[in-house]
Amino acid sequence: MTVRFAFTPAAAYVRAARLVAADVAAHAGVATGLLDEVRQAVGEACTRAVLRHRDRGLEDLVRVEFSIGDRFIAKITDNAQDLRARSSGRIGAGVGGGDARANDHDAIEEDTLSEEITLIVLGGLVEDLVVTGPDGNGGTTVSMSWPLPGSGSATDH
């Protein structure tokens, strides 16, 4: 079974994504002790996607997919191009406005640090975390999974 939806990149909708994640995970049979982890991890990943869209001025929808098989899998996908890739030509171009280039570099470093911190938090929450991308559209996908009863890999932490 797969549940897919998308939402406007606004913080107000992250809570709804968290609630849907917890509900679908509970129906899938994720252990009760892991439901808060699912809710928090999906919230962090969705917040990351919303911020990536906001920082790049994108109105594209954030995509969410929950699938149930051997494990409960949550995927959150943004369309935000990597800032380093988008700005690399501008930073190293040597075109006038040295202060602007320095400010761009500082903003990129701050954004990268913020994303790294979010991924560290996610790594602490979720045993099975994979971040892929940027893809053909320039976005990234955060994939997380949790064991289901009878999957043979049910480790509760």
The predicted-structure confidence for 61-101, as pLDDT tens digits, reads as follows 999 999 999 999 999 999 987 654 443 332 223 333 333 33
CATH no. of 2-81+119-147: 3.30.565.10
Domain residue ranges in the chain:
2-81+119-147
Mean pLDDT calculated for residue range 30-40:
95
Mean pLDDT calculated for residue range 41-45:
95
Considering the entire predicted model, what is its pTM? 0.76
Mean pLDDT calculated for residue range 103-113:
48
Query: What pLDDT is attached to residue 150?
Result: 78
pLDDT band at residue 108 under the 50/70/90 scheme: very low
Mean pLDDT calculated for residue range 139-147:
94
Query: What pLDDT is attached to residue 61?
Result: 96
Neighbour count for residue 113 (Cβ, 10 Å): 10
What pLDDT digit, counting tens, does each position of 117-142 carry?
Answer: 877 888 888 889 998 887 666 789 99
Query: What pLDDT is attached to residue 97?
Result: 36
Q: What is the DSSP string of the chain?
A: -EEEEEE-S-GGGHHHHHHHHHHHHHHHT--GGGHHHHHHHHHHHHHHHHHHHHHTT--PPEEEEEEESSEEEEEEE--PPPHHHHHHHHHTS--S-HHHHHHHHHHHHHHHHHHHHHHHHHHHH-SEEEEE---TTS--EEEEEEE-TTSS-----
Is the pLDDT score of 115 beyond 90? no
Query: What pLDDT is attached to residue 12?
Result: 93
